[in-house]
Amino acid sequence: MPIKIQKDLPAKAILESENIFVMDEDRALSQDIRPLEILILNLMPIKEDTETQLLRALSNTPLQVDCTFLMMSTHVSKNTSRSHLNKFYVCFQDIKKMRYDGMIITGAPVENLEFTDVNYWKELEMIMEWSKTHVTSTMHICWGAQAGLYYHYGIPKYPRQEKLSGIYKHRVLNRKIPLVRSFNDTFMAPHSRFTEVRREDIEKHPELVIVAESDEAGIFLVMSRDGKHIFVQGHPEYDRMTLNNEYHRDLGKGMNPIIPCHYYPDDDPNETPILSWRNTGNTLYSNWLNFYVYQITPYLLEAED
């Protein structure tokens, strides 16, 4: 089934070129099917890239998905045009009386700041509190996962000695959890972060379960036992070239970044990276939409008066 997006969103042409079934508003209105309403809080700096990545991941399901992009009103994006934001994004004040089947909170390049030093932290706290009563299930990604674990459970993040960047092997810890249905025993997934959360802090909360982890990269997948909160410390939605672009961006800034691990053939940045995580990412998002959103959400999403 298709993913429903606005007619002129730049991601539409990219997804159609990849043979992904995309439906615009006019065609969707002719179908007597209630789509899943998914709110995406996009905190990443290059928003068009993240839009395409997430829409691609959400498209691999038999369910019709209607995505709304949310931006922070207390933060001015430096890397995405104001015209793009005005056309394709809403602010929290616009949707705070609405209810959504699912929500995604992305990562953000603010890991080296304390949570309370992030200039939009108060607004993010307000949105995460609102999500408890207005969203069936929320998926938090990378820094978004760390922020969610901190806000909802008081779990801190810790700085790493060097940036974790690359494609790492993970293992599933409990195959009976629907979130990892159809996963292999071990799987690959991207990470790109300067901070981490630790097992011992998560284990203090019996309402949380660690679903997957890596010997090299640490905790990857955590969820609340009721499925209302999913925390993904990596970036399963990343494209083949995303880590490459980050690496060369940092090289250009004179930051002397490490070469992403297990990414380039023979660790040669001039080679094309091998795509080894796409199926895992697609399966993760499909399982979330099916088991923790579609199977649980009410048929009628009633807005507040």
Structure confidence at residue 85 (pLDDT): 86
Structure confidence at residue 64 (pLDDT): 86
Q: What is the largest CA-CA distance in the chain?
A: 59
Structure confidence at residue 28 (pLDDT): 45
User: Do residues 255 and 248 touch, judged by C-beta distance below 8 A?
Assistant: no
DSSP strand E in the chain: where?
3-4, 22-23, 36-41, 65-70, 89-90, 100-105, 135-141, 158-172, 186-196, 208-214, 218-224, 229-232
* 158 φ/ψ angles, rounded to the nearest 5 degrees: -125, 140
Task: Give the CA angle between residues 60, 213, 273 to the nearest 5°.
Answer: 60
What number of other Cβ atoms are within 10 A of residue 216's Cβ? 13
- Measured CA to CA, the distance from residue 26 to residue 23 in angstroms comes to 8
Long-range contacts: 239-246, Cβ < 8 Å, 24+? Answer: 239/49, 239/52, 239/53, 240/272, 240/273, 240/275, 241/273, 242/49, 242/53, 242/190, 242/192, 243/165, 243/166, 243/167, 243/190, 243/192, 243/273, 244/269, 244/273, 246/165, 246/192
Residue 277's contacts (CB-CB under 8 Å, 6 or more residues apart) are 167, 187, 188, 189, 190, 236, 238
User: Do residues 173 and 210 touch, judged by C-beta distance below 8 A?
Assistant: yes
**Sequential pLDDT tens for the chain (305 residues):** 445 566 677 777 776 776 455 555 554 444 446 789 999 999 998 899 999 999 999 988 888 899 999 999 988 887 788 888 889 999 999 999 999 999 999 999 999 999 999 999 999 999 999 999 999 999 999 999 999 999 999 999 999 999 999 999 999 999 999 999 999 999 999 999 999 999 999 999 999 999 999 999 999 999 999 999 999 999 999 999 999 999 999 999 898 899 999 999 999 999 999 999 999 999 999 999 999 999 888 877 777 76
| Residue 51 falls in the annotated catalytic set | no
Structure confidence at residue 9 (pLDDT): 75
Active-site position among 140, 142, 152, 229: 142
Structure confidence at residue 29 (pLDDT): 47
Structure confidence at residue 302 (pLDDT): 76
Task: Give the CA angle between residues 169, 171, 174 to the nearest 5°.
Answer: 160
| Residue 235 falls in the annotated catalytic set | yes
| Residue 248 falls in the annotated catalytic set | no
Reported residue count of the chain is: 305
pTM for the model:
0.88
Structure confidence at residue 86 (pLDDT): 87
Structure confidence at residue 223 (pLDDT): 98
- Measured CA to CA, the distance from residue 139 to residue 103 in angstroms comes to 6
- Measured CA to CA, the distance from residue 217 to residue 164 in angstroms comes to 7
The residue assigned the tokens 């997957």 is: 212
Active-site position among 37, 51, 213, 237: 237
Residue 196 corresponds to which amino acid? E
Residue 70's contacts (CB-CB under 8 Å, 6 or more residues apart) are 39, 40, 41, 42, 89, 90, 91, 92, 95, 127
Active-site position among 140, 152, 191, 235: 235
